[in-house]
């Protein structure tokens, strides 16, 4: 009996060893890394309206922590991709990226983004992915805390955390689709918790490679739930919840006739948001809607197998629609009458240059 137990134990140990060795071999794949460095210029980093810019010029009340409305910036980024064979018949992939957007002359506006993703390939153009995006801290600008007797401006800062699940699947030749659900939690600093919001977004994207171009069409619907509404503070008496539709199109095409350019791309995104609030006591949000247009163009050139660079222009224009007028004090005792539309509409332009370096590391045991 003892000998039988020894034999069984040895067989189990040998089988486990072989299985462990086979599993380790499936982990023995390269790690691909991508390093990029972007430099850019933003004409309106605080997203101020023309009215607010004029107000800032004429008054000493600091609605922004900067001497200028525009700024240059730098964005170093590292991306890591690792595709071990965790599942015998399916490709798996881990993606990780970390970036730092640093503004020169307005360091409070700088921020970090951490992104992680795990995907399982179920077939050709068929992926199931789980993602997480985290922005620890983002400074918007200065606002008045309406729960305080002090009417001076305070910094408005929030964090953003998103959990994402997506599934892509081919439809017909050269056409595939992706559906995605995202939940985003926006939590503000203690002076502005009345804006805490949980956003549920449903996204559908259609991709094709017809006409020798890569094309994408997408639409999404989002519900922003103001979770701190009616939580006991005076500032929480108004509902900042909203609904938003997004429509987008992007395309890029390989260019062979111009030696300085390998690829040209364009993207257009339209967002339509409507707030739920109907109380006349909150003219800033009551019946308010806005349409936002985002347009970008880019040119790309591959220098060698590992190095490429890109130049991009981005334009963003938000038009706000509201029937209300407000007296804007801006921390002073003097009212400045204006419309909500003029107060909340803004426009900005960005120029970006990016250089990308791709490499890989052998992951050996």
What are the DSSP calls for 298-310, one per residue?
Answer: EEEEE-SSSEEEE
Contact 85, 29 (CB under 8 A): yes
pTM listed for this prediction: 0.88
Calpha distance 71→359 (Å, rounded): 32
Considering only residues 294 and 66, tell me which one the structure prediction assigns the higher pLDDT.
294
CATH architecture of 2-361: Beta Barrel (2.40)
Indicate left, alpha or beta for 47 from its phi (over 0: left) and psi (-120 to 50: alpha). Answer: left
Calpha distance 365→363 (Å, rounded): 7
Per residue in 106-137, pLDDT tens?
Answer: 899 999 999 999 999 999 889 999 999 999 99
Calpha distance 277→228 (Å, rounded): 14
Number of neighbours of residue 208 by Cβ within 10 angstroms: 18
Please state the domain extents for the chain.
2-361
| Cα end-to-end distance, the chain, whole Å | 39
Considering only residues 22 and 207, tell me which one the structure prediction assigns the higher pLDDT.
207
Above 60 in pLDDT, residue 16? Answer: no
Token pair belonging to 283: 């003219």
**Across the chain, what does the average pLDDT equal?**
88
Indicate left, alpha or beta for 121 from its phi (over 0: left) and psi (-120 to 50: alpha). Answer: beta
Strand intervals (E) in 65-196: 71-82, 91-103, 111-123, 126-144, 153-172, 175-188
């Amino acid at each position: 009996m003892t000998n039988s137990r020894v034999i069984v134990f040895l067989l189990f140990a040998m089988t486990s060893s072989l299985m462990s060795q086979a599993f380790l071999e499936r982990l023995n794949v390269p790690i691909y890394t991508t390093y990029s460095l972007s430099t850019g210029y933003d004409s309106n980093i605080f997203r101020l309206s023309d009215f607010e810019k004029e107000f800032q010029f004429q008054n000493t009340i600091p609605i922004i922590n900067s001497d200028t409305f525009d700024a240059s910036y730098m964005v170093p980024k590292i991306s890591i991709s690792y595709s071990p064979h965790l599942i015998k018949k399916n490709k798996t992939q881990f993606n990780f990226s970390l970036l730092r957007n640093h503004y020169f002359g307005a360091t409070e506006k700088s921020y970090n983004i951490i992104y992680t993703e795990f995907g399982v390939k179920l077939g050709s153009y068929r992926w199931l992915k789980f993602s997480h995006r985290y922005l620890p801290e983002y400074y918007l600008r200065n606002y008045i805390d309406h729960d305080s007797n002090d009417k001076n401006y305070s910094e408005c800062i929030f964090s953003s955390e998103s959990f994402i699940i997506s599934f892509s699947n081919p439809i017909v030749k050269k056409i595939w689709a992706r559906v995605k659900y995202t939940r985003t939690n926006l939590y503000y600093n203690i002076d502005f918790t009345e804006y805490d919001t949980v956003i549920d977004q449903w996204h559908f994207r259609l991709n094709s490679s017809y006409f020798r171009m890569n094309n994408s069409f997408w639409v999404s619907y989002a519900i922003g739930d103001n979770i701190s509404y009616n939580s006991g503070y005076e500032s929480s008496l108004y509902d900042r919840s909203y609904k938003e539709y997004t429509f987008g199109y992007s395309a890029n095409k390989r260019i062979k006739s111009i030696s300085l350019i390998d690829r040209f791309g364009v993207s257009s995104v339209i967002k339509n948001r409507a707030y739920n609030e109907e109380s006349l006591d909150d003219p800033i949000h009551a019946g308010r809607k806005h349409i936002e247009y985002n347009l970008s163009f880019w040119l790309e050139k591959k220098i060698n197998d590992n190095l490429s660079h890109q130049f991009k222009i981005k334009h963003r224009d938000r038009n706000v629609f509201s029937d209300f007028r407000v007296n804007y004090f801006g921390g002073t005792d003097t009212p400045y009458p204006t419309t909500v539309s003029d107060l909340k509409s803004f426009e900005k332009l960005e120029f970006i240059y990016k250089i990308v370096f791709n490499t890989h590391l052998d992951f050996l045991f």
